[in-house]
Structure 1
Amino acid sequence: MSSNHTSRWAAALKRSEGPAYMAIADAIAADIQSGQLTANQKLPTLRVLATALDLNFTTAARGYAEAQRRGLLAARPGVGTVVREQVRADPVRRPQASSLIDMTMNMPPEPRDAALIERFRDGLASLQRADPYDLLRYQEFGGSHEDRAAGVRWLAPRLPELVTQRVLVCPGVQGALLALFTILARAGDAIACEAVTYPGIKGIATHLGIKLIGLPIDDQGIDPEAFGALCAADPPKALYCNPTLLNPTCATMSLQRRQAIVDIARRHAVPIIEDDAYGFLPAQSPPPLAALAPELTFYITGFAKHLGAGLRIAYLCTPNVRYTARVQATLRTTSVMASPPMITLATRWIDDGTVVAATSAIREESRHRQDIARRVLKQAQYVAHPEAFHLWLSVPQPWNRIEFAAHLRSHGVGVVVSDTFTVSGGAPEAVRVCLGGASSREDCQHSLEIIEDAIEQHPTLASRVM
């Protein structure tokens, strides 16, 4: 094969604004279309290609792999990589730099399960058969007895002792959190939380004038000693925590850690706001704090991470009926009520098993995407969980988190920097990567390959070799 080919490819790499391996595949496609490459023609070995293009071996290999995926090349044992005899007429390309693969929103993956999709369609169709005025009227604030009872049935595996009098149907987890922060603290008061935590509460606290006190965390979440010291000195009005698959670090409190946190909160009479948004994702996880200390825990979970964010239905469990009435009145003020059509769907999908089926499918798809991450992110240091759909990736030197995220965005991948989640202390050099935002496993792998390529490269060289 003539060196003219690799010279043209090198020039194409310099002109390209996208990843180098995509530019290699584009250049091969152009040469095949122009007749510069012909059927069965042998291409350079990967090491020769990497040297000629001044790339690392991995990037060169991905270039050939992308060309094979498009149906341009074939690998023949004993021969090497050759041009296919019959090239696909319309090879499918992956998204380009101008088409962002959004890995910023922590949405669940959407399994392409035909039976599950049919369940969704049946549920949506059932709304057309309902009395429209039943869905258009004001309904009981916090949900009807039947809708609360459905929530109790869904939550039974996590909270077996729950009763309907302690459950309220809310318009999403964020609405429930707003109501609780409003009830438990006033402007100028303090609520404790993880030092790196779900950013939604930062907005709520700012809106209400509440101070957040970030507690040190480790791989099991909040440090009990730090929480105990805070409570001994000046107890906060409440403790907010995300004990299962903490967003963003994926930390999950062990049973021992949960018991330690509960003991401290009970000793100092500090109410707990337990955000269990991801609680049903792991096939096995410790019991909620609300099961260990029901008398002081406000428990919240919903369908955003277990089915889909568009339903906007969550369930809030209070310590007692007195608090149920207070929260109900606050919800009436802040949000009036959850959408009746969505509550109707939620109850139906709980009762017919759709919620459990959807959660199971999301869990399985998350496992596949975490497997892809393990295969692709060989140079990366990150924390994840096999059944979560996000990971917490450490940004290696000499990158910093801001430059790293900006570089990825310029190459078509959006991630979230740690500053978004940091309540106190310096923001760690890390980014959250959401695996569910990519519409397919192929897009997920493509994005992770771009991330891996960036990790392998010095920032000053990345624009040349990517």
Structure 2
Amino acid sequence: MKNWKPVLPESGKPRYVEIADLIASDLQKGILMPGDRLPPQRALADLLGVDFTTVSRGYVEAKERGLVESHVGRGTFVKTIKGSMAETEPRRTEQVDLSMNLPPEPTNPDLIERMQAGLSAVSGNLISLLRYQNGTGTELDKEAASSWLSMRGLVPSLERVFITPGAHPAMMTILNMLAAPGDVVLSEAITYPGLRTIARSLKLKLVGLASDENGILPEALEEAIKAHGPKALYLNPTLQNPTTLTIPQGRRLEIAAILDRYNLPLIEDDAYGFIPEHAPSPFAAAAPDLTWHIGGLAKCIGAGLRLAYVVAPDTKAALSFTSAIQSMTVMASPVTMALATRWIQDGTADHIRRFIRRETRARQELASEIMSDFEFAADPVSFNIWLKLPENLSRAAIVGQMSGKGLGLVPSDPFTVGGNPTEHIRVCLGGRISRDELKTALQLLAHRLEYNFYS
């Protein structure tokens, strides 16, 4: 049973309506979760100081809104699948990797019901989805991918669109095609740790480029091209992980012009490109003949799908990529491809994306208020803040002190390309943590920073 202890507001509404409003509000905040059992009506009546009938009417009101469902002999539960209770596996729901930069998880009952309805619809083709299928996506799935990519202003032909089991294998395949062991690949000086892992695996040398508030410096890019003869440039240009920086359109055009001048391929990791309401156009629109565009679904829908939409620069490159990605991964999961396609077609994917955007804004406002005494980089819709520690504070010490507190903290070390890591920490605001839990954890982090600084 959920240990739910609500406090009725003085809204002027009937008390039973306020009870239903509280259920809806606490669902949105993540205090209540789908499947939670609510307190018995008499227990809640005693807690709130109202009579039994008021709570009974409140639960009926919540049921009529589609928020809860009742089962004789079992009690009242926060609603999950329409008309039934979904079975969950607790050991699966407990699994979370706090080192990952996660989006907030949906809590709205209507949205969750839409998501589950899509999964139910896909299960109608379950047997066929367990077979081997086209290794880079069926025509139906590519059409859905193209529709999704069109929201970023991209309209590639379907023969240049591929569906891969996540952005990581797509990046590894592309780099393996473009470079040989010992070759140089350019990136931001502070970059996505996955790129460093891939480069190390392929025995490639990463060279980090100097940046300012608008992204990598064009002159630094040109100098590095002349000095190192690189095989590719990697960029995470929108809500960059971990700095949260977005390269503005003007700087993108400057970079694209240099790439064109030197015929240098670009790997554009657009993991967060779908989150801002008005993100700059992707590099694939400015330099389509040189850009490998990777539109992962991990940040804008869900990492568990393990899907990314890849756009190759041209048909020749597409043919090479087909062979290379199939030899590495065989195929993306037909089950998750079908689910993503369904959600895109019926609008659920866009609802998830909009929820993530709204909830992220609320969490960034919390971080801005609680961490106001400290220096950090952030964006209103980034999933993290890039926290600069006060002078003489150790990133290792702070991360150690916050271990087990439910907050995803990662020191600057895995993000740093060359040179000594700075005293920065990526603080993730998303994942399974509720807004109230996040507030408490951030307050503890702020306290730890102040205590260590003044002690």
TM range (shorter): 0.7 to 0.9
Q: What CA deviation, in whole Å up to 9, does each residue of 1:77-97 have, x standing for no partner?
A: xxxxxxxxx9999xxxxxxxx
- Range with bigger deviation, 402-411 or 368-377: 402-411
Q: 1:108 aligns with which of 103, 111, 114?
A: 103
Aligned-pair CA distance for 1:160 = 3.5
Q: 2:139 aligns with which of 134, 138, 145?
A: 145
Q: 2:158 aligns with which of 149, 164, 177?
A: 164
Q: 1:397 to 1:88 in 2, by over 3 A?
A: farther
CA distance in 2, matches of 1:100, 1:397: 35
Which residue number corresponds to residue 121 of structure 1? 116
The answer as to 2:319 corresponding to 1:325 is: yes
What TM-score, normalized by structure 1, do the two folds share?
A: 0.75
Aligned-pair CA distance for 1:325 = 1.1
**Contact kept? 2:406, 2:433, Cα under 8 Å:** no
CA distance in 2, matches of 1:421, 1:437: 20
Aligned-pair CA distance for 1:284 = 0.8
Report the number of matched residues. 366
CA distance in 1, matches of 2:139, 2:431: 35
What TM-score, normalized by structure 2, do the two folds share?
A: 0.77
Mapping of residues 352-391 of structure 1, within 5 Å: 352-391=346-385
Q: 1:200 aligns with which of 194, 199, 213?
A: 194
**Contact kept? 2:105, 2:432, Cα under 8 Å:** no
CA distance in 2, matches of 1:379, 1:141: 51
Aligned residue for 1:239, secondary structure, equals strand
- What percent of counterpart residues are identical? 41
**Contact kept? 2:371, 2:446, Cα under 8 Å:** yes
Mapping of residues 289-300 of structure 1, within 5 Å: 289-300=283-294
Aligned residue for 2:230, secondary structure, equals coil
**Contact kept? 2:395, 2:423, Cα under 8 Å:** yes
The answer as to 2:306 corresponding to 1:312 is: yes
Q: 1:178 aligns with which of 156, 172, 178?
A: 172
**Contact kept? 1:103, 1:438, Cα under 8 Å:** no
Aligned-pair CA distance for 1:233 = 2.7
**Contact kept? 2:385, 2:426, Cα under 8 Å:** yes
CA distance in 2, matches of 1:160, 1:141: 22
CA RMSD across the alignment? 2.0
Q: What CA deviation, in whole Å up to 9, does each residue of 1:82-139 have, x standing for no partner?
A: xxxx9999xxxxxxxxx9997532111013111210111101111321151x111111
Aligned-pair CA distance for 1:277 = 0.2
Which residue number corresponds to residue 243 of structure 1? 237
**Contact kept? 2:163, 2:307, Cα under 8 Å:** yes
Aligned residue for 2:301, secondary structure, equals coil
Aligned residue for 2:234, secondary structure, equals strand
Which residue number corresponds to residue 14 of structure 2? none
Aligned-pair CA distance for 1:378 = 2.1
Aligned-pair CA distance for 1:392 = 0.3
CA distance in 2, matches of 1:233, 1:399: 37
Mapping of residues 195-344 of structure 1, within 5 Å: 195-344=189-338
Mapping of residues 427-442 of structure 1, within 5 Å: 427-442=421-436
Aligned-pair CA distance for 1:163 = 1.6
**Contact kept? 2:161, 2:309, Cα under 8 Å:** yes
CA distance in 2, matches of 1:181, 1:278: 21
Greater relative contact order structure (CA < 8 Å, 6+ sep): 1
The residue type equivalent to 1:404 in the other structure is I
**Contact kept? 1:195, 1:425, Cα under 8 Å:** no
CA distance in 1, matches of 2:118, 2:230: 44
Aligned-pair CA distance for 1:413 = 3.9
Gap regions ≥5 residues in structure 1: 1-85, 90-98, 462-466
**Contact kept? 1:217, 1:223, Cα under 8 Å:** yes
Aligned-pair CA distance for 1:235 = 2.5
Gap regions ≥5 residues in structure 2: 1-45, 50-93
**Contact kept? 1:298, 1:316, Cα under 8 Å:** yes
